Amino acid sequence: MRATRVQEIWVGLFVALGIAALFMLATRVSNFSSYSNGDQDHITVYFDNIGGLKVRSPVTMSGVRVGRVSAIGYDPENLQARVELAIDSQYMKILTTDTVASIYTAGLLGEQYISLEPGAEDEMLSDGGVIMHSQSAVVLEELIGQFMVKMTSK
């Protein structure tokens, strides 16, 4: 009878550790864990097409994560998608007014993210600034459609 009680305790601990490990894995995979190393500044970018970009998608410069997408909406005045970025303040001194924001896909079918490429201007972006140069997401269906049109026109 005594050995059964000890076995039950060990099994319970093992199950509890397994559940904790699955919870940690789920938060890592879902980007649920928040990204913030301190103060953040907000920048707005307008795109013609954001594809499958989502709130909390990463924002990178040269492959290094510098922020996240904080909000996505539609601007009826510009007739474009409005994307707000939360950028870690330490990287704001690098972003010039001619910075280019592009939407890329990690892998063939991976998540979409925004890549920032600083320009050569002397003036820097400030909190609440707008990035004027953007490159929209490449939509696979549009590429296939263009390919099919070119193939049928020959």
Q: What is the pLDDT of residue 110?
A: 76
* In contact, 142 and 48? CB cutoff 8 Å: no
Q: How far apart are CA 100 and CA 130, in angstroms?
A: 11
Percent of the chain scored above 70 by pLDDT?
90
* Residue 72 near residue 79, CB atoms below 8 Å: no
* 3-state class (DSSP) for residue 146: helix
Averaged pLDDT of the chain: 84
Can you give the pTM of this predicted structure? 0.69
142-151 mean pLDDT: 81
Question: Worst-scoring range by mean pLDDT, 2-6, 27-31, 118-122, 132-136?
Answer: 27-31
- pLDDT mean over 97-115: 84
Give the pLDDT mean for 6-26: 91
The confidence band for 154, taking pLDDT boundaries of 50, 70 and 90, is low
Reduced to 3 states (helix: H, G, I; strand: E, B; else coil), residue 125 is: coil
Q: Tell me, what's the pLDDT at 31? A: 57
Query: Rounded to the nearest 5°, which phi and psi values hold at 28?
Result: -65, -45
Mean pLDDT confidence for 5-23: 91
- Grade residue 83 by pLDDT with cuts at 50, 70 and 90: very high
Query: What pLDDT score does 93 carry?
Result: 84
56-77: pLDDT as tens digits: 889 999 888 999 999 999 999 9
The values of phi and psi at residue 122, to 5°, are: -85, -30
Q: Residues 95, 70: contact at Cβ < 8 Å? A: no
- What is the pairing mode between strands 80-88 and 40-47? antiparallel
